[in-house]
Structure 1
Amino acid sequence: MDLLGFYPLFYVPHFGSAWLMGLTGAIHIMASHTSVGAALLFAFLAYKAQKENRTDLYDYMKRYGMFLLIFSYVIGSITGPGIWYTATAASPRGISALIHNFVWVWATEWVFFVYEVLGVFALIYFIDKIDRKTHLKLTYTFAIASVGTLALIIGIISFMMWPGTDAYYATGSASDAFFGINTFPHMFLRIGFMIMMSGIIGMIISSAMRKENKALSEELTQKMGWVSLLGGFVTVFFFMWYVNTLPLNALTLLGMQKDTIVMNRIILAILFSVYFSIAIIKPQWVTRTLAITMMLVIGIVGVWPGEKLRETMRKPWVAGQYVYSDQIIGRDVPGKGIKDETGRLSEKGLLKLDPWIPDRLRTITPENKLEVGKLLTRIACSNCHSLEKDGVYRPLMPLAGPMGEEGIKDYMKNVIGTGSIAYMPKISLPDEEYDAMAAYIASQAK
Structure 2
Amino acid sequence: MAIVLFALPLAVVVQRLYHDETVTGLERDATRIAAVVPDDLIQRPRPLKRPAGLPSRLTVGVYRVDGRRVTGQGPGRSALAVRGRDGRVHDGAEHGRLAVAAPVPSDEGVAAIVRVSAPYDPTGDRIQRALLAMAGLALAAVACASLLARYLARRLARPLERLTAAAQRLGAGNFSVRAPRSGVREADEAGIALEATARRLGTILERERAFSADVSHQLRTPLTGLLLGLESALERPGADLSAAIGTALDRGHRLQVIIDELLDLARDTEPARRHLDVPAELEEITLRWHGPLAAQGRRLVLDIQHPLPAVSTSPAALSQIMDVLLGNALQHGRGEVTVQAADVGGGIAIDVGDQGPGIAEDAPDIFARRSAHPSAPRGTGRDAGQAGTRTAAAAGHGIGLALARSLAEAEGGRLILRSSGPTVFTLFLPDTSMAS
TM-score by length of 2: 0.23
TM-score by length of 1: 0.23
Is the helix fraction higher in 1 or 2? 1
Is the strand fraction higher in 1 or 2? 2
Higher relative contact order (CA 8 A, sep 6+): 1
